[in-house]
Amino acid sequence: MATTEPRTGDTGESLFIGREEESAWLTLALANRHGLVTGATGTGKTVSLQVMAEGFARAGVPVFAADIKGDLSGIAEVGEPKDFILKRAREVGLTFQPDQFSTIFWDVFGEEGHPVRATVSEMGPLLLSRMMDLNDVQEGVLNIAFRVADEQQLLLLDMKDLKSMLSFVGEHAAELTTQYGNVSKQSVGSILRQLLVLETQGGDRFFGEPALDLKDFMRTDREGRGIINILAADRLMQSPRLYATFLLWMLSELFEQLPEVGDPPKPKLVFFFDEAHLLFNDAPKALLEKIEQVVRLIRSKGVGVYFVTQNPVDVPDRVLAQLGNRVQHALRAFTPRDQRAVAAAAETFRPNPKLNTAQVITELGTGEALVSFLEKKGTPSVVERVLIRPPSARIGPVTPDERKAVIAGSPVKGKYDTAIDSESAYEILQKRVNETAVTSEAGEGGVLDQLGSIVGTIFGTNTPRGKRLSTGQVIARDVTRSVTNKVLGGVMANIGKTLGGSVGGSVGRAIVRGALGSLLRR
């Protein structure tokens, strides 16, 4: 904690957050050590989030934040010098300066901002299983579908691609069991039913192209200030698992794609994860371990992650231990359970002999908080009670017309607004179905036809001449060709080249997956 009297706000090295007896400064060089903003509903968490986002933006740090209630969108408009704002500014020793910030609005549904999309291949089986709430057996079957697609370099871009692969797995469960382990048709059916549920929640809009380029989150404006990316999440929050998994996917993509930078003078990006408890609720142990790994390591990529939730106990201890910068708003202690939660929250702070932390947590007023930020040596400061400074931009939502104006002037206008149905696994396989039908009708023979007979014997895909193959049969043919390459050498290598040529334009290189199963391209 520093005691410098702030008049205009932040310094070049720190963000001014608030003041009472002591001033609270968040050191930019330590902002990538992550943070936590907690407190009961209505105690000022969103305003604290806005204050921090504004500070990072002024320092040239891009920001991403989910807007659960729409209140954060006002950051795009100039703040008004209302009486309560001017009063708070005087109380913290700040000269209030109205401001607004360059903002890009995003929306999975494409209604309140630019559409946000990812491909099924990029999402990966682990996160997709979490999104659909699959059990262990179903997750195993989904992994098999992805494994076959990855080995064949067939990109799964949208829902129909995934359905095609799952249909194949169901049709050839017995054959795939011998190579990949037990495959149940019932499990495939359950996954397909869950896909229908996901579609009704908006998954059909989320999966597809053009996929989000995370570089668009890393922008600065003409003045060198960080652009604030706001995800409209009020509707998305109606599907909590979709919301949490979507944000986790974005975090994993940042982790996999960004280069190592160590501890830079300021973060490359700050990521606010609101309603963070949704990420951890009922999460399996394996996923929690992956989340802890990503949070621990992503700071070396220059990314600061700030979880926003009601109580620190909402966050697992191993993740909580990674969160060095903390803002605690009031908690209510009406029941014995509430009292235990307050005591647990107090224990997460470095004690201050001047404060009874557990007692103060229940006494804090709106816009007042206990704070502890990392000091220059990386150790947490003693907890201090402070009044949070007022934001410079508007407190509250933008109007529909104001939102439209911001979207119209966006630097990514036109890049994501129109969906693209690229040639992918589904289209490629359908094309091969058509080609096979034409070839059969022409009566062409040779080595490939002889091999096709062998394939049909193994996988049951022999069909009368002129009859169209099903999608599953085509995939079975291609999988077998891939395996037979090892035996037939040059003959089947040509088939592999044909397959690589048709899909390689999209893939370009071998398919591998990262810590959370998301797609890596190397």
**What pTM was estimated for this model as a whole?**
0.82
Same domain, 43 and 104: yes
Whether residues 199 and 228 fall in one domain: no
**Contact predicate 293/305, CB 8 Å:** no
Check whether residue 107 and residue 249 sit in a common domain: yes
Indicate whether 171 and 232 sit together in one domain.
no
State the Cα torsion 510-302-52-58 to the nearest 10°.
-100
Assigned domain for 514 exists:
no
Burial class (CB in 10 A: 0-12, 13-18, 19+), 147: middle
Domain membership of residue 82 (yes or no) is yes
Q: Are residues 379 and 444 in the same domain?
A: no
Domains in the chain, number: 3
C-alpha–C-alpha distance, residues 218 and 299, integer Å: 15
| pLDDT tens figures, 256-275 | 999 999 889 999 999 999 99
- Dihedral sign from CA coordinates of 291, 208, 137, 246: positive
- CA separation for the pair 384, 361 (Å, rounded): 11
Q: Which of 168, 183, 206 is the last residue of a domain?
A: 206
Per-residue pLDDT of the chain in tens (522 residues, 90 and over written 9) = 444 444 556 778 999 999 988 899 999 999 999 999 999 999 999 999 999 999 999 999 999 999 999 999 999 999 999 999 999 999 999 999 999 999 999 999 999 999 999 999 989 999 999 999 999 999 999 999 999 888 877 789 999 899 988 988 888 888 888 888 888 889 999 999 999 999 888 888 899 999 999 999 999 999 999 999 999 999 999 888 889 999 999 999 999 999 999 889 999 999 999 999 999 988 888 889 989 999 999 999 999 999 999 999 999 999 999 999 999 999 998 889 889 989 999 999 999 999 999 999 999 999 999 999 999 889 999 999 999 999 999 999 999 999 999 999 999 999 999 988 876 767 766 676 677 667 666 655 544 454 444 445 444 445 454 445 555 554 445 544 444 444 333 333 333 333 333 333 333 334 556 666 565 544
The CATH number that applies at residue 33 is 3.40.50.300
For residue 2, being part of any structural domain is answered with no
- C-alpha dihedral over 284, 288, 291, 293, to 10 degrees? -130
**Cα 247 to chain center, whole Å?**
3
Residues 108 and 232 in one domain: yes
Single residue among 188, 206, 224 that ends a domain in this structure: 206
Q: Are residues 136 and 82 in the same domain?
A: no
Q: Are residues 72 and 94 in the same domain?
A: yes
CA 383-387-390 angle, 5° bins: 135
**pLDDT tens-digit readout, 396-435:** 999 999 999 999 999 999 999 998 887 676 776 667 667 7
Residue 314 within any structural domain of the chain: yes
Residue 503's domain comprises 425-508
Distance CA 97, CA 8 (A): 8
Residue 521 lies in a domain: no
On whether both 403 and 429 belong to a single domain, the answer is no
- Residues 309 and 447 placed together within one structural domain of the fold: no
- Last residue of a domain, which of 172, 206, 240? 206
In a domain? residue 36: yes
518 falls within a domain: no
Residue 79 lies in a domain: yes
Residues 6+ apart with CB under 8 A from 282: none
Residues 55 and 155 in one domain: no
Tell me: do 225 and 200 sit in the same domain.
no
